[in-house]
């Protein structure tokens, strides 16, 4: 089932006897999932020793729903702010959707966007953090998609809510798209409403008020994602990069494809940029492209008489070609802009950076570990 079909079903937009019956079955399956989530969270709430702290500060960026909530642009925003404070930053993530142990699509995108920030992928985020500290000399860790990974202690917990459906249709997976009940927001230090420009002022305020009731101590932020440029694959090794302005899409006949959690948001972005979307091919989130997929996109683009083909940045790094048939292939590069609460969030990140161990501290620790006069404690 495509992501859009699943969202249509659980949201109630898909009507009919069959859809109603299927929602009933999903509601039955929701119960065991909800119990499992409750039990896991209870264990962490009542057994602090399950949480492991590493030697450097950790910032988590996560969400409470399935699919895309704008995590990758926010991870880039956070990492850049920490780098601006003069500390070495490493990203850690689970690596969902990676093939043969290699980097997944999000890691490849982040590698291009943050060339000075290494990325360690491991389902065991504690192990990944220790690799980042011991082998990459990281002074701070940014944990991507970390809200539900409670075993790694964090110094700042940032939770994102997608403004277009912030509370997962009010139901936990598989009946809705919540990973855990919304009351879990009480664990958050910061709650940021992403894509906030896609809803009205009154809708934003309604979400803010509900979050204030659920997590009264959390900082409230709002952000938007803005296309900054088009990027492509260089045709020769001598070309460092290939870029074009987003205005290239205005008035163009565009064939688009994506394998992301929220394909509707990508299509809306293209329309907002003035593109005429004449074909749209949707794949599952983290889709691994094979030759028949590329041939299908080429056929649909040609049949629609498209001027060019466009995808997301994380799809481009997997397809890895400059053209599809005779048509150029571009990806829309997206960056986050914090429109409300940005100064306070930057201040909290500065405090995290200030708590990071300095190079002098690390040198002193190394000297002490090599001091033959030191005796091990019993």
Annotated binding residues for ATP, as ranges?
65-72
| Alpha helices (H) along the chain | 3-11, 17-46, 71-84, 105-113, 125-134, 201-214, 263-272, 291-303, 313-319, 342-354, 359-370
Structure token digits, residue 25: 């079955």
Sequential DSSP letters for 94-137 = --TT-STTS--HHHHHHHHH-TTS-EEE-SSHHHHHHHHHHTT-
Q: Are strands 308-312 and 327-340 parallel, antiparallel or unpaired?
A: parallel
- ∠ CA 112-113-116, nearest 5°, is 85
Structure tokens at 97: 């959707």
Annotated binding site: 65-72
Tell me if 146 sits within 8 A of 129, measured CB to CB.
no
Residue 333 phi/psi, 5° resolution?
A: -85, 130
Radius of gyration for the chain, computed over Cα atoms and rounded to the nearest angstrom:
22
* 3-state DSSP of 155-222: CEEEEEEECCCCCHHHCECCCCCECCCHHHHHHCCEEEEECHHHCCHHHHHHHHHHHHHHCCCCEEEE
Q: Report the alpha-carbon distance of residue 226 to residue 200 in Å, rounded.
A: 18
- Please give the backbone phi and psi of residue 48, each rounded to the nearest 5 degrees, phi first: -60, -25
């Amino acid at each position: 089932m495509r992501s859009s079909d699943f969202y249509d079903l659980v949201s109630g937009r898909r009507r009919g006897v069959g859809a109603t019956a299927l929602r009933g079955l999903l509601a039955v399956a929701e119960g065991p999932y909800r119990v499992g989530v409750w039990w896991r969270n209870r264990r962490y709430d009542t057994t602090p020793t399950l949480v492991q702290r590493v030697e450097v500060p950790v910032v988590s960026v996560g969400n409470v729903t399935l699919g895309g909530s704008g995590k990758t642009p926010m991870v880039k925003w956070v990492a850049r702010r920490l780098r601006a404070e003069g500390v070495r930053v490493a990203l850690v993530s689970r690596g969902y959707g990676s093939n043969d142990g290699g980097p997944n699509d999000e890691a490849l995108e982040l590698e291009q966007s943050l060339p000075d920030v290494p990325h360690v992928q491991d389902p065991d985020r504690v192990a990944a953090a220790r690799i980042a500290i011991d082998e990459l000399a990281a002074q701070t860790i940014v944990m991507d998609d970390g809200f539900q990974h409670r075993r790694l202690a964090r110094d700042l917990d940032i939770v994102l809510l997608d403004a277009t459906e912030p509370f997962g249709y009010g139901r936990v997976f598989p009946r809705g798209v919540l990973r855990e009940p919304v009351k879990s927001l009480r664990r958050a230090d910061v709650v940021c409403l992403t894509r906030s420009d896609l809803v009205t002022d009154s809708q934003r305020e309604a979400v803010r008020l509900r979050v204030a009731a659920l997590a009264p101590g959390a900082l409230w932020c709002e952000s938007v994602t803005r296309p900054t440029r088009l990027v492509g694959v260089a045709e020769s090794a001598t070309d460092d990069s290939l870029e074009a302005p987003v205005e290239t899409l205005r008035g163009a006949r565009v064939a688009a494809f994506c394998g992301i959690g929220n394909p509707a948001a990508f299509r809306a972005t293209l329309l907002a940029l003035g593109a005429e979307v004449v074909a749209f091919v949707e794949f599952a989130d983290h889709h691994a492209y094979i030759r028949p997929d590329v041939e299908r996109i080429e056929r649909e683009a040609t049949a629609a008489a498209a001027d060019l083909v466009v995808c997301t940045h994380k799809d481009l790094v997997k397809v890895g070609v400059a053209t599809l048939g005779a048509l150029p292939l571009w990806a829309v590069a997206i960056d986050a802009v914090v429109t409300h609460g940005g100064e306070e969030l930057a201040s909290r990140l500065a405090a995290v950076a200030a708590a990071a161990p300095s190079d002098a501290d690390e040198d002193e620790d190394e000297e002490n570990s090599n001091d033959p006069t030191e005796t091990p404690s019993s």
